Structure 1
Amino acid sequence: MNALSLSIPLVAVGSFAAAFSLLLLTAYLLAHRGRPSVDWFVTTLAAQSLGCLSYSVGMLVTVPAWRVAFEVMSVLAFVWIGYFFLGFALEYTGRVGANRWSAFAALAVPPFAGSLLLLTSSYHGLFWSDFALVRVLGVVALDYTLQSGALAVFALDMAYVAVGVYLLVETIRSYGPLYRSEAVAVALSTVPVGIGFAVWILDLGPASTLIWAVPLSLPHAALDAYAFVGKQMFDASPKAGRVADEQAIDALPDPVVVVDDAGRIVDANAAALDVFLDDGANAVGRDAADALDVDLDALRDGDDCSIDVTTDDRRYVFAVHRSPLVSGDTVVGHTLLFRDVTAQHENEQRLEVFNRVLRHNLRNKLTTVLGSTAVIEDEAENPKVRTLAANARESSEALADIGEKARRFDRLRSSDLDVSTVAVDDVVTGVVEEFDARAALAARVPDGLDVTTDRRHLAFALENVVENAVEHANEPDPAVEIDASVADGDEYAVVVAVRDEGPGIPEAEIEVLTSGTESDLEHGSGLGLWIVLWCLRRLGGEVTFDATADGTTVRLWLPETTPVDARDAGRVRRS
């Protein structure tokens, strides 16, 4: 009897085709080594290729000792496939960080123990027993009985594969279509092989002596080739998304604490541990209200509240924002974001002090200066002194006007928005009457032009635009036109245009206003246009400038209804 049979049955052809297909795929993927999870998958395919090739050759071998040797090599390779595949799935989906692979190494104990049982089974019979060569479907098969050791090893092997498939399927669910076709292909590729192993291990059917997972590795190889060659699966990896999910909280500079529905801390980033939780090891499980000094019941989802926190190093002011964590339709916990608003709080305090000085101290001092300069101007005999006194009085009056503007805007800023239906013609008429004695004003407003906004902000903004045009005019009786109309487009409903024939607003000043910042070298000439900009922003509108050599056109763009954003929620009266 020859060692190799002379004809190759169809089942052997399929087995060899599967083996060589897996070898080709392994060779192709070697070029991708170094990318996340490639090494694990190459190792998986290499083990499967070795097992298939050994078994395929064994199908044609009739010498008992050789046939057993090829069976041992193939089964030994199959013992490790589940572990390698699980390693691939864990790294591809980003489930295992660099510091957790040592724990994963412990999962290698069962396949390692199974390998020892297999190689030493002739001494103890715990893996298999009762060998006999038989012919099945024209090939040489090895008939034996799998013992408890083998069944336990293969059960764990299949469990590893099942967990890996679950991770890939979960990736499909979590990341939508981005990795869907690739992950589906790899997950489905395990099905025919799993069926083949089940038939062999459970002794199902008349040909169960054959390890059907070998020829059924051919569709497995085809599906893997689709994912890794046709779809370039390793060119993009969901590991990036998984790692981002895990590290996003830690990367935030502000403290973040995750609590469960019972108010216990389940996670916290490094910033939270540094500020609130000195003993990070014991942070998990602590009551959040006690540890953070926050009344969780008083916090509503989406709302902010401020808290003061004093540590050994400094004092903080945090705006606490609570967001629900929802699983299905159930709220399972909350994320608490502590935004550090210490600098903002200190700036607001400084602004309040400056406003108080502006409202009271500066105004009182200017009143004294104005009174004194008026007396000097009236009683001084020296014309030069009277001229100097008049200049001082005019400068003091201008400074007083600036202070009055600042005080008026501060009152508007700190008050609630009073949103109502406003007749644009009434607002324009009021401004025209105010400046009628100082300029030749012409106004055109269509009948019935209304807008839902805060009248005070709109009137104050329009006053400052007209005042800017009058004060910077070249003639004593400047001409200023006010045109209100329905705005073109969908973004805004009404536009109010103010045109003058003055020298025009300098380009540098427009740049300062549009950029929103001033410096020592680049700054505006006053407060008026800033007030216009701030008022329109609060109304949800916009200011645009069209400056030419013949004058300037300033346009105030208003939405149909003043929107209520998060900053003004609860501070709006509608009438």
Structure 2
Amino acid sequence: MLLVTVAIGTAAALLAWRERPEPGAVPLVALLAGQCLWSAFLVFDLQASTLDAKLFWANVRWIGVVAIPVAWVFFSLEYTGRDRYVQPRYVALLSIVPAITVALALADSSLLYTDSSLVSENGALYLTRDPGPWFWVIAAYTYLLGLLGALPLLELIWHDSRPFRGQSAALLVGILAPWTANALFLAGAIPVPGLDPTPVGFAISGVAYLGALTRFQLFGASPSPTPRARRLLFEQLPDGAIVIDAHDVIVDINESGAAILGTSRRSALGQPIRVVAPESVLVQTDDPTAEQRGVTGRHDDRLYDVTVTQITDVRDRTIGRVITFHDVSEHVRQQQRHEVLNRVFRHNIRTETNVISSYATLLADDDDRGAAAKITDSAARIELLATRAREITDVFDRAHEPADPVPLESLLEDALAPVREEYPDARIECDPVDDVHVDGVLEPVFTNLVENGIEHDPSPEADATVRIAVETADDGDRVRVHVTDDGPGIDGYEQTILERGAETPLEHSSGLGLWLAKWGTEIAGGAVSFDTDGRHGTTVIVEVPVLTPPRSTDD
């Protein structure tokens, strides 16, 4: 029987060795090798005829005995995806007690066994030994490791579906069979003194492991990626996510969540949520049924929708909450665009069309050159509105494309070229520009800002002046472009509408140029602000991040 056990264990070990790139294969080989050593040395023990010979093989047998529980734990951890614990320092830590045991066995110390003798049973000699204090230490330690290794597999059986249930059940049978036989031996339930039936249980164990390797494809479908995949899903989730316990202490947070709150993951862990989250988040944390509202990040102007989900245990008690931040900035911009464009085509174009119709009626009755001029002006305004609407559509279409880094100097030259052509007498001054790259989506932004400054200047075209100054931040990460005109300044209500980000039927801006500037800058990752002295002239400040220039094709 023992030789059959060794043969079955060796076959299973060879199959596992062939799969050694797979998680858990190497620890399983070590486990099966320990079983084979235990059984083989027991064969030599049974064949020996003297006390010294039997003692030698019994003591050497401990090498295989202590290897089994350590290998079992690390197999279970690696196979179920908890491989972060399968490291040399943890292997060394768990091997301290087994190493001491082997040393005591080879030294035939009384700490392991207090007495040894031979007994005769049916013409055969068996070795009987009285356990010492360390024997019970290693016995308890062995069963403890066996239990720890079984827990992850029990979790697979309890929670997950096929094929992991069959695999896990076979593995548990493989470890329980010898463990049960050994427990019966330690309890004195074996009628033959000195005959340890544990290696006989290894025959059942080997068959179970062979079944797991072949029938249930132990390494063909492995659960090892599952814990890591779940962790990666949480960490790489584009939405911010925070996990708090029942005491509102942060127990987990992903990098996106930390960035939104303007902190780091290391600093946030262990902190009360009230320390790091804005008040708008706390309202929904305290009352998950409250109406959801948007919050802005600590270091950006992006808008996030906050959702709070309860975490409950098996008794339906709330043990924590998950707070998620979903970036809705693009959705809000799209909504603003539709509102504004709807307003333009519903109100402005309708008004201009009515003007054209009215003056066309007058011309039908009287050849009035002034009325003809009005018609021409209205038609020009309609054309300009259509052009702006088309430019805005193009800008939003580019929002879904990767950023296109271009030199700011050449971008400004391209943006100013059509303005210089349309207003040849206006003065457009541009300071020297640093060698920085920005998103190419900004070209129509600067074109419209300069055009707006010239068009709204009440002075003759020859006296209209627009000045452009460029300022790079000290850290070199952002650049500010100041566009200054000598006009009457932007009305306060227009600035309010742009900052609020929404129009109403009774309160709306005069056109699309400033909206284009706002949206284009936001798509480039920046923001628009205004500086005016309240009397005349306005400075529009476009602040955007500096991009890394594209690599040369010659590199």
**Range of TM-score over shorter length:** 0.5 to 0.7
Distance 1:274 1:381 in 2: 64
Partner of 1:257: 242
Is 1:319 equivalent to 2:305 in the alignment?
yes
Tell whether 2:180 aligns with 1:169: no
Instruction: Tell me which residue corresponds to 1:180.
Output: 165
Which of 251, 270, 273 matches 1:285? 270
Which residue of 195, 198, 217 maps to 1:213? 198
In structure 1, the gaps of 5 or more residues are 1-13, 404-575
- 63, 67, 79: which one pairs with 1:76? 63
Which residue in the other structure is 1:18 paired with?
Answer: 5
Residue in structure 2 matching 1:300, options 277, 288, 294: 288
For 2:102 and 2:291, locate their aligned partners in 1 and report how far apart those are by CA, in whole Å: 60
Aligned-partner Cα distance in 1 for 2:247–2:353 = 60
TM-score (norm 1): 0.60
- Residues 303, 33 of structure 1: CA spacing in aligned structure 2 closer, same or farther, 3 A cutoff? farther
1:267 pairs with one of 228, 252, 259: 252
Q: Secondary structure at the match of 1:89?
A: helix
The offset of 1:297, in angstroms, is 4.4
> CA shift at 1:62, angstroms?
1.0
1:208 shift after superposition? 4.3
1:353 lines up with 2:377 in the alignment? no
Does the CA contact (< 8 Å) of 2:254 and 2:265 recur in 1? no
| Deviation sequence 1:289-348 (CA, Å, 0-9, x none) | 34212123465369743112231xx22211111222222122211111101112222333
**1:24 Cα deviation after fit:** 1.5
Q: Cα RMSD over matched residues?
A: 3.1
**Counterpart AA for 2:84:** G
1: CA distance between counterparts of 2:39 and 2:67? Answer: 13
Counterpart for residue 537 of structure 2: none
Partner SS, residue 286 of structure 1: coil
Contact 1:258 1:333 in 2 (8 A): yes
Structure 1 residue 163, shift from structure 2 partner = 1.4
Unaligned runs of 5+ in 2: 390-555
Amino acid at match of 1:119: L
**Cα shift at 1:358:** 3.5
* Overall identity of the aligned pairs, in %: 20
Change (3 A) 1:285 1:190: same
Deviation at residue 147 of structure 1 after TM alignment: 0.9
Task: Say if 1:335 and 1:29 are closer, same or farther in 2 by CA, change over 3 A.
Answer: same
Partner amino acid, structure 2, of 1:121: D
TM alignment of 1:178-257, pairs within 5 A? 178-257=163-242
Deviates more, 1:327-336 or 1:43-52: 327-336
Q: Map 1:371-450 onto structure 2 (within 5 A).
A: 371-379=358-366
- Cα distance, 1:239–1:223 mapped onto 2, change above 3 Å: same
- Superimposed CA distance per residue, residues 496-515 of structure 1 (whole angstroms, 9 cap, x where no aligned partner): xxxxxxxxxxxxxxxxxxxx
Q: Secondary structure at the match of 1:338?
A: strand
Report deviation, 1:225.
1.4
State the distance in 1 between where 2:102 and 2:9 align: 23
Q: CA deviation at 1:237?
A: 0.9
In the aligned structure 1, how far is the partner of 2:272 from the partner of 2:88? Answer: 32
Matched residue SS, 2:161: helix
Task: Write the distance in 1 (CA, Å) between the matches of 2:59 and 2:342.
Answer: 88
Of 253-262 and 338-347, the range deviating more from structure 2:
338-347
Aligned 8 A contact 2:362 2:368 in 1: no
Distance (whole Å) between structure 2 residues aligned to residue 137 and residue 276 of structure 1: 78
Q: How far does residue 142 in structure 1 lie from its aligned partner after superposition?
A: 1.5
Q: 1:243 to 1:330 in 2, by over 3 A?
A: same
Tell me, in whole angstroms, the C-alpha distance in 1 between the residues paired with 2:161 and 2:291.
31
What residue number does 1:335 align with? 322
Give the Cα–Cα distance (whole angstroms) in 2 for the partners of residues 17 and 30 of structure 1: 20
**1:156 alignment partner AA:** Y
**Higher mean displacement: 111-120 or 182-191:** 111-120
Secondary structure (helix, strand or coil) at the match of 1:300 reads: coil
Name the residue aligned to 2:112: 127
Contact 1:254 1:337 (C-alpha < 8 Å) held by counterparts: yes
Please state whether the residue corresponding to 1:315 is helix, strand or coil. coil
| Structure 1 residues 120 and 378: alpha-carbon distance in aligned structure 2, compared to 1, 3 A threshold | farther
The Cα shift of 1:138 comes to: 5.4
- CA offsets, 1:409-448, max 9 Å, x none? xxxxxxxxxxxxxxxxxxxxxxxxxxxxxxxxxxxxxxxx
Quote the residue 1:96 is aligned against. Answer: 83
Query: How much does 1:180 deviate?
Result: 0.9
Go from structure 1 to structure 2 and tell me whether the alpha carbon gap of 1:154 and 1:277 turns closer, same or farther (over 3 Å shift). farther
CA distance in 2, matches of 1:317, 1:381: 53
CA contact (8 A) 1:57 1:70 kept: yes
C-alpha displacement of 1:213: 0.3
Structure 2 SS opposite 1:176: coil
| TM-score, normalisation: structure 2 | 0.62
Mean Cα displacement is larger for which, 371-380 or 51-60? 371-380
Contact conserved, 2:295 with 2:305, CA < 8 A, in 1? yes
Q: For the residues of structure 2 that align with 1:164 and 1:310, how far apart are their CA atoms?
A: 45
The 2-side partners of 1:66 and 1:302 are apart by 79
One-letter amino acid matched to 1:337: T
Structure 1 residue 191 displacement after superposition: 2.0
What is the rounded CA distance, in whole Å, between the counterparts of 2:294 and 2:198 in structure 1?
A: 63
- Are residue 49 (structure 1) and residue 36 (structure 2) matched? yes
Cα deviation, residue 351, structure 1? 3.4
Q: Which amino acid aligns with 1:259?
A: I
1:60 to 47, 63, 71: 47
Name the CA distance, whole Å, in 1 between partners of 2:266 and 2:175.
41
Cα contact 2:285–2:308 (8 A) shared by 1: no
Q: Judging changes above 3 Å, is the alpha-carbon distance between structure 1 residues 98 and 291 closer, same or farther for their aligned structure 2 residues?
A: same
- Asked if structure 1 preserves the Cα contact closer than 8 Å seen for 2:262 and 2:298, the reply is no
What amino acid sits opposite 1:85 in the alignment? W
TM-superposed CA distance for 1:176, in Å, is 2.6
Distance 2:244 2:62 in 1: 48
Letter of the 2:301 counterpart: R
Conserved 8 A contact 2:27-2:75 = yes
Query: Are the counterparts in 2 of residues 320 and 339 from structure 1 also a CA contact under 8 Å?
Result: yes
1:19–1:75 distance in 2 versus 1, CA, 3 Å = same
Residue 521 of structure 1: aligned partner: none
Structure 1 counterpart SS, 2:293: strand
Range moving further from structure 2, 22-31 or 283-292: 283-292
Measure the CA separation in 2 of the matches of 1:140 and 1:73. Answer: 19
